[in-house]
Amino acid sequence: MVNANKADDLSLIKRFKASDASAFDEIILKYQDRIYNVCRYMLGNAQDAEDAAQDTFIKAYRNLRNFRPDSSLYTWLYRIAVNTCLDYKKRPFFASIYRGARGDDEVMNELPSDDPSPERIYESKQTCHVLRMSLKQLSEKFRTVLILKEIEGLSYEEIAEVLDISIGIVKSRISRAREELKQQLKKFMEQK
Amino acid sequence: MRCKKAKELISPYIDGELSEGERESFESHMKDCGNCRSEFEETRNVHNLFAGAERFSATYGFSTRVLANLETKTRRNGLFVPLFARFAGVVAVLMIIGIGIVSGRFIGRSFSFQKPGNIAAFFSLDTFNATPPDSVGGVYLAMTEVNNDK
């Protein structure tokens, strides 16, 4: 499955380098949800996530000719997305859910659910709310590894490639991030 | 396996990142150690919370907007334009204004301007001497005046 995906990506890159205009369109369609999702979690609101995701693909377009086939396309895209989001956060007027500029209402309203039961929907929203509130208390490096692992499902090796750190550091950060998240969750539940 | 080592392996075990041998040692320790098992279950519960976390999708028309932005930015800027180059026009205008101000001050100091009220008189035709004394015209005038006196 992984090898088939990598072969598919290499074929798209080859077509792009041969000036096939539709190749990049296919790359966007293939990865737009994943990139948007990671931007959404890192930045906390839809507008900034949209802008960051757009910038990610624009940067990818400009640099795709120099892409080395020894790494995978999607970890390369994730790396651009993570760095773009971190740059956004350095901007002086960055307003995100993490500074309380927008409440969690935006997220609560968008929560998808297939379960028609109102109680289950409410519980699910509460869980997401608690999780998001606790996540935002973590340091940037812990929050980033948890988003890549728990939300995006990347392996330790892939996370190491995205963040340009060793697998040992990935293991350590994930363990410490979960420990810290546990403490934040306990604090949050005690306050209620 | 000691507890310290087992606790380090909790997250990699949950994430399926242990080798066969490590997994067997870890599971064996979990059976025997209630303390480590409790910590393992707490961490697993945290991990399981994310199963219910929302997954967002890119909004409708996202790829179209990316391609449109690519075209706009390529048309406007060509290839990537460095930040300073975008403000080059403004900088050039400011430099011209600055040079103008400095030149004006320099020129002003070079001429000994009289009071503003005398500027009109300074440039008036009455003070304009078309025949200075040491010019050909001035000598001629002087000679004619002498002849007139005679």
Residue A110 lies in a domain: no
Query: Considering only CB atoms, which chain A residues are within 8 Å of B12?
Result: 156, 171
Domain boundary among A102, A125, A150: A102
Task: Name the region of B114 (left: φ>0; alpha: ψ -120 to 50; beta: rest).
Answer: beta
Residues A13 and A74 placed together within one structural domain of the fold = yes
Same domain assignment for residues A92 and A165: no
User: Is A89 found in the same domain as A1?
Assistant: yes
**Does a structural domain hold residue A178?**
yes
Count of domains observed in chain A: 2
Over residues A169-186, mean pLDDT: 94
Q: What is the 3-state secondary structure (H, E, C) of A80-142?
A: HHHHHHHHHHHCCCCCCHHHCCCCCHHHHHHCCCCCCCHHHHHHHHHHHHHHHHHHCCCCHHH
pLDDT at residue A86, rounded to an integer: 94
CATH code of the domain covering residue A58:
1.10.1740.10
Residue B75 pLDDT level (bands cut at 50, 70, 90): low
> How much is the pLDDT for A69?
79
Look at residue B97 and tell me whether its pLDDT is greater than 50. yes
Q: Which residue of A has its CA nearest to B66?
A: A54
Provide the pLDDT for residue A130. 83
Quote the mean pLDDT of chain B.
80
Instruction: Quickly count: other Cβ atoms within 10 Å of residue A57's Cβ.
Output: 27
Overall average pLDDT of the A29-40 stretch: 96
Q: Collect all residues from B whose CB is shorter than 8 A from any CB in A.
A: 8, 10-12, 15, 17, 42-43, 46-47, 49-50, 52-59, 62-63, 65-67, 69-70, 73, 79-80
| The pLDDT value given to residue B111 | 60
Same domain, A2 and A62: yes
Average pLDDT on A21-43 reads 95
Nearest residue in A to B63, CA atom: A28
Instruction: Mark yes or no for CB contact A112/B54 under 8 Å.
Output: yes
Q: Where are the domains of chain B?
A: 3-52, 91-150
Instruction: Examine residue A78 and state whether it is found in any structural domain, yes or no.
Output: yes
Residue A175 has pLDDT above 90, yes or no: yes
Dump pLDDT digits (tens) for A77-92. 999 999 999 999 887 6
A10 touches chain B (CB under 8 A): no
**Does residue A90 share a domain with residue A26?**
yes
Among B53, B62, B79, the residue with its CB nearest the CB of A131 is B53
Q: Which of A102, A126, A152 is the last residue of a domain?
A: A102
Same domain, A96 and A5: yes
Residue A99, φ and ψ in degrees, nearest 5: -105, 10
Tell me which of A40, A75, A102 is where a domain ends.
Answer: A102
Is residue A127, in this structure, part of any structural domain at all? no
Residues A55 and A144 in one domain: no
Instruction: Tell me the chain B residues in contact with residue A87 when contact means C-beta distances shorter than 8 Å.
Output: none
Tell me, yes or no, whether A68 lies in a domain.
Answer: yes
Taking only the tens place, the pLDDT of each residue in A91-141 is: 766 544 344 434 443 444 444 445 557 776 666 777 788 888 888 889 999
How confident is the model at residue B85, as a pLDDT?
Answer: 64
Distance from CA of A58 to the nearest CA of B (A): 6
Give the per-residue pLDDT at A28: 96
* Cβ-defined contact of B66 to A50 (cutoff 8 Å): no
DSSP string, B46-61: HHHHGGGS----PPTT
Q: Is residue A142 a part of any domain in this protein?
A: yes
Kindly report the pTM of this predicted structure. Answer: 0.70
> Is A155 found in the same domain as A76?
no
Rounded to 5 degrees, φ, ψ at A148 are -70, -35
Query: Which residue range(s) make up the domain with A163?
Result: 137-192
Task: Give the closest-approach CA distance of B92 to chain A in angstroms.
Answer: 27
Q: Distance (Å) from the C-alpha of residue B96 to the closest C-alpha of chain A?
A: 32
Q: Does A151 lie in the same domain as A56?
A: no
pLDDT of residue A15: 93
Which residues of chain B are within 8 Å of residue A112 when distances are taken between CB atoms? 54
